[in-house]
Structure formats: C-alpha cells, structure tokens
Structure 1
Amino acid sequence: MRILIVTDAWHPQVNGVVRTLTETRRELVHFGHRVDMITPQDFRTLPCPTYPDIRLALFPYGRVAKTIRDLAPDAIHIATEGPLGLAARRYCLRQGLQFTTAYHTRFPEYIHARIRLPLSLSYAWMRRFHGASAAVMVPTRSVADDLIARGFTNVVLWGRGVDTELFTPGERDRLDESRPPRFVYIGRVAVEKNIEAFLKLDLPGSKWVVGDGPLLARLKAHYPDVHFAGVFPQAELARFYRAADVFVFPSLTDTFGLVLLEAMACGTPVAAYPVAGPRDVVGDSGAGALDDDLRRACLAALAIDREHVRQIAERFSWTSAARQFERHLHPNTQPEPGAADSAALTDDALQ
C-alpha cells in the first residue's frame, strides 16, 4: 500500500510526535508499504509564536494539493492540526478522499497555558478538524475517554513503543560530581511541561534537566542549584536515563509521554502525577510511583526495583503500535465509511 503521512512536526524538531512518526514510518516500510511524507522541510516556514524552534509552513495549500495528486496515495494520514494538516484536510474534503487523523498533543491545554484561551473554544475547533476524518487515532484509553466526553465520535487507539535496544540498562554514569540520589527530567523545557513543580521540590541529592525550550533561560536564572545539561541527540539520552535514580515527569497535559517508556527501558523508575499518560503507561505496574504529591512520588520511587521497571517497558513494541496504525488506515479504494464504523472505539490493547 502507498501511504502518505502529512505532518507539521518533523526533523530537526525533537519531540514525541516526531519520534512516533519516525518509528511508525520505519516499521511500515519494514512491513512492505511505501510511505511518503509531506513535512515543513519542503516549504518556506516561519517560527511558531512563543515556540520558535517549531517552524510553520507558509501558504502550503497549492503544493500540498499537487503532491497528493501526483502521489495518488492509497491511504492518507494527517498527523497534526497545523498549516500542512489543514491544507491536506481541505484538499481531501474537496476531492472526496478519506483520511485519518491523530491526536498527539493537548493543544487546547497548551494554548490555554500560554494565552488563556477558553478550552471550550479550542476544543470546538479540534472537534471540527478531527470530525471530518474516518478515524482519529489517540495514544491511550484515558485520552480516548476524555475526547469522547468532549463530543468526539470517531476515536480509535494507536499505542506507542520504545526501542529496547537503544534504551537499555547498563553502566550508570555519575553525571559529574552531583550528589545522589539524582532526580532527572528529560524533555521540552516549556510551560506546558510543568517543570517548576519538580524544581521547587525539597528533595535529597540533586536535580537534573536535560533538554531545551523557551523557558530554559528563566529556569536557569531562578534555580541555580539545578543542573541544566542542555539538549542531546536521542542516541545519547540513555546515559542520562540510566544515571537517574528517579525519572521525574511533572507534566499534567501529555497524551502519552514517550520519555516515560525510555526511562523505564533503562530500568529507571518514574515519579509522576496520576494523570493521563503516566496513568496509562505506569499505572499500577510497579514501574513507578504516581501521587498527587510529587515529592512523595519521588521519594517512593527510590525504593523500586530497576529490573522490574525494565520488564514492564519490554511490553511496549513499536511493531505492535505500527500494526495498530496500519489497521486504522482507510484506503480510498474502500467505500465511504458508515457512521458506526467511524464512531467505533476499538479494543486494541496497548502493548
């Protein structure tokens, strides 16, 4: 099958959406499919307001339309709600083409955190965007339940995986001369990640932040005792995960949190709030501590057996996740889906 994926998030961005699409594309090619991409790399772009590392395509409709016509894909997947996603959606609707979408990111909550736009307005827009798709793929059942409660009617599950060969237990770096225990956060340094909830905690040992983002300079100035390591390529992150005694995930808005799995694959227990993402990935597996009191979660996670944490991470596979994605595609050789088909919530289990 010839599959087209349209995404506003792509390399050189470093985030969970890019990683998910990269791994999914690799698996789909391994299955024997041809996978083409429409990404910002092929367009003139401008920086996203409040987040200049993200580049947004300028006036992409004509080129997007021509690319879809020329490729004539069997199945179209629109991964993001940005300019490229909007252009592809518009073309598909005009031409009567089926497509699927994905809900990777809680944009309503992110926008609200930045400019206080009421959630009701942004969720109304999101319902309209995704309501035209044959299926909107979401990473966990918690997110599916949230969207269904907000009036989404075409939700299916598409899980996530982890590279258990890249992220693996091994020698634990001392991270300079910082004091143990070491509490480590890895990810975007941005307001929606709620990082200050971690940095404000009174914890023994030392705190580390690995990553970059618009809040980095301010947090460095406000928390001089925290070790800010900067940004590293994915291949080098495993040493930070392994060095951590606890991986701290303070976000309240992530739909999944691939970094949770990466930490767990390295044997590092997780401390997080009991919200969507940690609740679905860690839950009651014993691979971490979830608590409304993040300090209490951090201290409890110190006692967790690292070998058990690794065993839980091994349940998650990119191959299984890509097979879910493949099953949810709607090739345009099929008739238009009926209401029952597009509204169904599958029972695909996260693996």
Structure 2
Amino acid sequence: MSLPSVAAFTDTYLPTVNGVTYTVQSWRDAWHRRGGDMPIVYPAADDYEPDEREFPVQSLPFPFYEGFRVGVPRVPAEIGEMDIVHAHTPFGLGMSAMRLARSQDLPLVASYHTPTSEYAAYVSLGDRVERTIRKTARSYERWFFDRADVVVTPSERTREHVREEVGVSTPVEVVSNGVDIERFQPVETADFRERYDLPEDRPVVGYTGRHGYEKCLPDIVAATDGMDVTVVFGGDGPAREDLESRAAAADVDVRFLGFLPREELPAFYSVIDAFAFPSPVETQGLVALEANACGTPVAGVDSGALSVTIEDGVTGYTYPQGDVEAFQRTIERVLDEREAHGEQCLDHRDEISMENAVDTLEDVYRGVL
C-alpha cells in the first residue's frame, strides 16, 4: 500500500536547530526512505539552502526571540497535489496549512510541539500583561487545534495538557518524536574529551539544547555549587549571558561549549555521567531520550513530560520542581548509580526509536484518511 503524500508546514526549521526542527526533518527523511513524499514549507533564512522538496517562504525576524523567524502565510504551488496537510505550528505557516487543507478538502493533522503560553515572559511587560498573554495564547491554541482533524502530541502527559488545560476537543494521538538510534549510541569519547579539555578525574554533568529562560538552566549551576564535578553546557540561546554570570559566581567548574554540530552529540552524551534537565516546559524532552540512547541517565524535574519521559529508577531520577537541594541529591544519586542505569537506558533503545515513532505516525495518517 502506497504512503499518502503529506505537506508539512513549520515555523521552525533549519538553520535553527532545536527539537522541532529535528523532528520535522527526521520524520520527513524517514517518510522518504519508505517511499513517501513529504514536502516541507518553512521560513526562509539567508544561511540555509533548501534541499529537494523543501520550500522556503518569505519571513520576518521574531523581535522577542533571537534566531527565530516568522513565515509569511503562503502555500507554494510547487508542492503539488497532497493527501494530507500536517501543521507543526499554530501560527504563521500553520495558517497556511489550514488554508491548504480547507481549499482542497484535505485532512489537517496538527502537532502540539510547544506550550505557547509558557513563552509569555519573552514578550510581556510585567505580571499582569504576562497573565493576559498566557490566557490569550491558550485561547488561540484551543481555536486552532480544534480546527484540525487530529492533534498529535509527543507524550501522554502533553496529551493530557492539550485536552484538560488547553481545552481542545479534537481527538489527540500520542506520537513520540523518536530518536535516531543508529546515530545516538555509545561512542568513544577520547577525541571529544581532548578537544574540549574535559577532565577524567571527576564526574561530568551536562546539558545541551536551547538556552532559554523557561528552561531554568541556572538551577543546574545552583544544584552543583560546591560539588566535585565539571558541568558542561552545549548549545546557545538568549539566557546564556545570564547563565555564564551565575556560573562565574559559583563554586563549581563550569564549561560552555557553545553550539555543537549534530554529529558531535553522541560523543557529548557519552562523555557525561549525568544529563541534568531542570526544564518544566517540555512536551517530551527529546534530548533526555538522546542521552538515554547513548547510555546516559537523566536527573530531571518532575514536571511536564519529563515526569513520564524519565523512568524513575530505570533511566534516571526526577525531583520536585523548584527544590534545588533535591536536584543536587538527584544528580548525586544518578552519578552513584550511573553504571546500572546506563545499562537500563540501553535496554530501552528500541522503544524510543525513530522507526517506531514513524510507524505510529503512519497509523495516524491512515486513520484521518
């Protein structure tokens, strides 16, 4: 049975690197390997040349968040005839997806990647305005996702959020983002350790990903203050300067590696002994699963999707949100039990694989047809 053709619309794509970009690109690649067609419509950027079946549209910089661009709603005629439309955003290009679905009477699938209301602090001017923006964002999310035929979330916890807190009445299906377990597996780390001058005589605690204020990354510095460890941060973002200031004042060895090419991430995950993840706003926490695929357990906050992404006592441990002392104890526990949990993480690789995720995605697509 041939695969349906799916037009994917996203406001987040290369050269911006984050979980949404990775998921959209990886699902497209897996779909193409299976013989399907999945063109991607995304905001144009000067420093990225589109591949075949990638269609950039005119875009504008988003003034409140450096590195993000907003696509001007448009449906490129070159994508051709489609069977399904998949919106990976409820905003600019999400509206293009809705327009295409309505004009050609096609099913609309909409992914809920990010809780929009959690980013209100980037655009607000005080608590009152922030509360208003959060309320407006949630109302808009409900309006948009209720106009889809099915909503896709990366975790059961996010599904509950969409149904109960956002109030969406459309059917919601869980499709994990998936991890490329061929890429993300334990690797030799000697070259990576030497390149970034990482010590061998003490444990290494690490985080990689976007440095956003909503990620609560200063909690990693506070939790490791006074510990005999090295803390490494990979990635970049608007909160980095503040994070560096806090690290300079703390009694702990902190290193900032900056943006890491994707091909170096398996070595990053393999060289660290614990992945520290204090972000309460994750819809799945893909980097936690990538760390697990490389045999590294996670010390993460018991909030959002991380409450279920991290299997306590199996792939790491969780701690109560906002309790920095508990975070420190959790990091210490993960370090103490690193070897046992590393093996358990590897035992779960097939469950979190990209192929597993795309099998489920295919079921969703066939369901709406």
Specify the TM-score bucket, using the shorter chain as the normaliser: 0.7 to 0.9
What is the DSSP-based 3-state SS (H/G/I as helix, E as strand, rest coil) of the residue aligned with 2:39? Answer: strand
The answer on whether the counterparts of 1:75 and 1:331 sit within 8 Å (CA) in structure 2 is no
Listed one character per residue, the Cα deviations across residues 155-175 of structure 1 (whole Å, up to 9, x for unaligned) are 111112212222211333445
So what's the TM-score if we normalise by structure 2?
0.83
Written as runs of structure 1 = structure 2, the 5 A alignment for 1:296-335 is 296-302=329-335, 303-304=337-338, 305=340, 306-329=342-365, 334=369
Question: Structure 2, unaligned stretches of length 5 or more?
Answer: 45-55, 125-129, 321-325
What is the DSSP-based 3-state SS (H/G/I as helix, E as strand, rest coil) of the residue aligned with 1:167? Answer: coil
The answer on whether the counterparts of 1:183 and 1:245 sit within 8 Å (CA) in structure 2 is yes
User: Which residue number corresponds to residue 127 of structure 2?
Assistant: none
User: Which residue number corresponds to residue 90 of structure 1?
Assistant: 99
The answer on whether the counterparts of 1:77 and 1:329 sit within 8 Å (CA) in structure 2 is no
User: Which residue number corresponds to residue 338 of structure 1?
Assistant: none
Written as runs of structure 1 = structure 2, the 5 A alignment for 1:13-92 is 13-41=16-44, 42-58=56-72, 60-61=73-74, 64=75, 66-67=76-77, 71-92=80-101
Moved over 6 A (4+): none
Written as runs of structure 1 = structure 2, the 5 A alignment for 1:1-351 is 1-41=4-44, 42-58=56-72, 60-61=73-74, 64=75, 66-67=76-77, 71-112=80-121, 115=124, 116-118=130-132, 119-150=134-165, 151-154=167-170, 155-173=172-190, 174=193, 175-178=196-199, 180-201=202-223, 202=225, 203-224=227-248, 225-284=253-312, 286-292=314-320, 293-302=326-335, 303-304=337-338, 305=340, 306-329=342-365, 334=369
So what's the TM-score if we normalise by structure 1?
0.87
Kindly state the Cα deviation for residue 274 of structure 1 after the two structures are TM-superposed.
1.3
The answer on whether the counterparts of 1:192 and 1:253 sit within 8 Å (CA) in structure 2 is yes
| Matched residues, number | 328
The answer on whether the counterparts of 1:207 and 1:227 sit within 8 Å (CA) in structure 2 is yes
Kindly state the Cα deviation for residue 276 of structure 1 after the two structures are TM-superposed.
2.6
The answer on whether the counterparts of 1:160 and 1:321 sit within 8 Å (CA) in structure 2 is yes
Listed one character per residue, the Cα deviations across residues 92-126 of structure 1 (whole Å, up to 9, x for unaligned) are 33554321100011111122465224433211110
Mapped to 1, the partners of 2:174 and 2:15 lie a distance apart of 27
Mapped to 1, the partners of 2:84 and 2:212 lie a distance apart of 34
Over the aligned positions, Cα root-mean-square deviation in angstroms equals 2.0
Question: Structure 1, unaligned stretches of length 5 or more?
Answer: 335-351
What is the DSSP-based 3-state SS (H/G/I as helix, E as strand, rest coil) of the residue aligned with 2:15? Answer: coil
What is the DSSP-based 3-state SS (H/G/I as helix, E as strand, rest coil) of the residue aligned with 1:171? Answer: coil
What is the DSSP-based 3-state SS (H/G/I as helix, E as strand, rest coil) of the residue aligned with 2:295? Answer: coil
Query: Quick one: which amino acid aligns to residue 6 of structure 1?
Result: F
What is the DSSP-based 3-state SS (H/G/I as helix, E as strand, rest coil) of the residue aligned with 2:32? Answer: helix
Mapped to 2, the partners of 1:90 and 1:75 lie a distance apart of 12
Kindly state the Cα deviation for residue 273 of structure 1 after the two structures are TM-superposed.
0.9
Query: Quick one: which amino acid aligns to residue 153 of structure 1?
Result: S
